[in-house]
Structure 1
Amino acid sequence: MTAIINRIKKHNIIFSISHTKATYEETMIAIEAGATVVTHLFNAMRPLHHRNPGPFGILGQAGTKSRPYFGIIADGIHLHPTIVKIAYSAYLEGVFLVTDALSLAGLSRGTYEWTNGSRIVKKGSELTLEENGRIAGGFASLLDCVTNFLNWSGNSVPEAVNAVTSVPAKMLGMDKIKGSLEAGADADLLVLSERRNEDGLRTLRVDKVWKFGKLVLDPA
């Protein structure tokens, strides 16, 4: 495993620990060898056990230089809100949000052909495999995930947006040009407005979008 990771890293490819049954010890070996990211933390991985935390043990590695970034699917289906909050509280600098959205995201409810002869059922807020009912992906938007994260974590809007801007930019080694408003960075700008309902839940709306300094969305 170490040899494979080293070989991949030599080509400037980011090595990510993905869906795996790796033990805690195996996970740490991969991280020490150069794995810097964990894909879809908690999903399709060895369950957390009190005698061997598996890949989730990275959350307890406070203060270590090799602590990896990790992606969280905050769509309300893949993970319980409390799990998201635990992960974020353990390592707020490392969490970035992903949707796990498939190409079916914009389609109406129904059953669709998928790869390798599989069929996916889109119903309500879930995408599941027809043959066994397992989660097959998601169709939440990234703004939905940020809004969920905002409410579950109790963070401010800047803190929540950080998980889809500066953190993934740093993970990709692109923090000088993406994910910030620093001089010299790409002029990719997003204007959001926040609303609260009577229960105190917050929602975000996209007001304006600039790409490379050009206004590309202005609903008003």
Structure 2
Amino acid sequence: MPSITSTTPPCGNLPTHTDTTIYQFINCRLVRRGRIVKDDFWVRGGKILNPEPVFYVEKLQADVKVDCHDALICPGFLDIQINGGYGYDFSSDIDKLEEGLAAVAKGVLATGVTSFLPTLVTSPKSVYHQVIPRIKKTPGGPGGASILGVHVEGPFISPAKKGAHPLQYLEGVEEGMSKVLDVYGSIDNIAKITIAPELPGAQEVIRHLSSRGIVVSVGHSSSNLEEGEAAANNGATFITHLFNAMLPFHHRDPGLVGLLTSRLISHPVHYGIISDGIHTHPAALRIAHRAHPQGIVLVTDAMAAMGLGDGVHQIGQMKVLVEGRKARLVDFDTLAGSVVTMDDCVRHFINGAGVSLVEAIDAATLHPARVMGIDHLKGTLEYGTDADFVLVLDKGPLKVLNTFIAGECVYSASDAPNLTFTQKSPSDI
């Protein structure tokens, strides 16, 4: 029977998807299992579909075929450290928290991010008590990217490596979990926490938090390697923005950097890298990647100024001056977050570290999903996982064209090629 063929504005008029509609993306390439393959891509009910059972068992064909014009399909990016953006700061704009979360969730779709972890920097107890209960895990959709929970970066960090965190609000953990609960009020919505492992009482806290399923990251720390290894063996699995706010590498005690190649820990650790050309020199990117390529996780550490111009902005309780692409504390020569976006991190990682496109995409997708324990759902194009994916142009600098969440198009670049689709006619259905 005849079919209905239509050329649409970018993504805008693709047929509304239902739980039973089968989409077949054709004329595309996929980032799958560490390489780029030429294949069709199938989606149904918000999940990535294995077409073989559909053909041979269900005896069904695609309801809608979408021509991707040779675009590359990769998993949606995950940003597991972001302080705010587009004029909103999660730690200080308390009265506008929901508005800010919505603005960032919507804005990051243009950068290929389909899931993120709002980060709270060191703040007064009252801020944690007001904010943490209001940042809940939220599925993504047309309104914006998924929220994976809260990342609390402090206040249990080293005064000597506080970075842009206000000294007067730092806390110790000599009292153990009772202190943690007193400061945060509740840990129910916390998915990830950064802590300095050398603080008295920190090792027991790390053990307890990891047993609760919270990702424990070591950072903002003066820790030596032995203390870092103890933290890893007690359940820590991540390093917060490697090289920044920690002891520099030393050949007699490499500090937390030494965890990348340690043989005395029970499991490999992952580590965050701010790949913006400012926080981490390209040579440091190359060193880290070559030491532990499967552990690298690209993070933006973006602040309220992301998406805005130069000027004075906020990060937590501190004022930040942004000039060019560099953000520094007002009146101090201290880096304070970044203004980089995740797609730019991927591009800079490729250029600065000399890695392949697939390696860079894995560092923004599969690796952060593994850190958060959700790689069975996100960060991959494996069958049965969430259909969160991005169409990108990879001929030249990587460019995000279209972003999909649960199989639904939620963003299209203004200059993205029109997606064309072929839909079954009513007599075919």
What TM-score does the superposition give when structure 2 sets the normalisation length?
0.48
The verdict on how the C-alpha distance between 1:192 and 1:62 changes in structure 2, with shifts beyond 3 A counting, is farther
The verdict on how the C-alpha distance between 1:163 and 1:114 changes in structure 2, with shifts beyond 3 A counting, is closer
Within 2, Cα distance between the matches of 1:75 and 1:26? 29
Work out whether residues 232 and 265 of structure 2, in 8 Å CA contact, stay in contact via their aligned partners in 1. Answer: no
1:174 pairs with 2:374: yes
Q: Per-residue CA shift, 1:81-133, capped at 9, x if unaligned?
A: 110111011111110100111011122211235543x3211101101011212
The secondary structure found in structure 2 opposite 1:187 is coil
Which of 333, 340, 343 is matched with 1:143 structurally?
A: 343
Matches within 5 A, 1:41-80: 41-61=242-262, 65-80=266-281
2:217 counterpart letter in structure 1: S
Per the TM alignment, residue 62 of structure 1 is displaced from its structure 2 partner at its CA by 6.1
Which of 393, 400, 404 is matched with 1:206 structurally?
A: 400
Number of corresponding residues: 213
Please name the residue that 2:334 is paired with: 134
Per the TM alignment, residue 185 of structure 1 is displaced from its structure 2 partner at its CA by 0.5
* Alignment root-mean-square deviation, CA: 1.6
Please name the residue that 2:66 is paired with: none
Please name the residue that 1:200 is paired with: none
Per the TM alignment, residue 31 of structure 1 is displaced from its structure 2 partner at its CA by 0.8
Q: Per-residue CA shift, 1:171-207, capped at 9, x if unaligned?
A: 11101100111111000111111244xxxxxx21011
The secondary structure found in structure 2 opposite 1:135 is coil
Per the TM alignment, residue 17 of structure 1 is displaced from its structure 2 partner at its CA by 0.4
Matches within 5 A, 1:153-168: 153-168=353-368
1:73 counterpart letter in structure 2: I
1:152 pairs with 2:375: no
Q: Please list every run of 5 or more consecutive structure 2 residues that lacks an aligned counterpart in the other structure.
A: 1-201, 417-429
Displaced runs of 4 or more, over 4 A: 62-65
Within 2, Cα distance between the matches of 1:193 and 1:26? 44
Within 2, Cα distance between the matches of 1:134 and 1:24? 25
What TM-score does the superposition give when structure 1 sets the normalisation length?
0.91
1:70 counterpart letter in structure 2: Y
Within 2, Cα distance between the matches of 1:181 and 1:194? 18
Identity level (%)? 37
Within 1, Cα distance between the matches of 2:358 and 2:300? 19
The secondary structure found in structure 1 opposite 2:401 is strand
Work out whether residues 62 and 91 of structure 1, in 8 Å CA contact, stay in contact via their aligned partners in 2. Answer: no
1:122 counterpart letter in structure 2: V
Work out whether residues 143 and 204 of structure 1, in 8 Å CA contact, stay in contact via their aligned partners in 2. Answer: yes
Per the TM alignment, residue 167 of structure 1 is displaced from its structure 2 partner at its CA by 0.8
Please name the residue that 1:199 is paired with: none
Please name the residue that 1:28 is paired with: 229
Within 1, Cα distance between the matches of 2:301 and 2:261? 25
Q: Please list every run of 5 or more consecutive structure 1 residues that lacks an aligned counterpart in the other structure.
A: 197-202
Within 1, Cα distance between the matches of 2:298 and 2:334? 22
Per the TM alignment, residue 153 of structure 1 is displaced from its structure 2 partner at its CA by 2.5
Please name the residue that 2:210 is paired with: 9
The verdict on how the C-alpha distance between 1:119 and 1:64 changes in structure 2, with shifts beyond 3 A counting, is closer
Work out whether residues 112 and 120 of structure 1, in 8 Å CA contact, stay in contact via their aligned partners in 2. Answer: yes
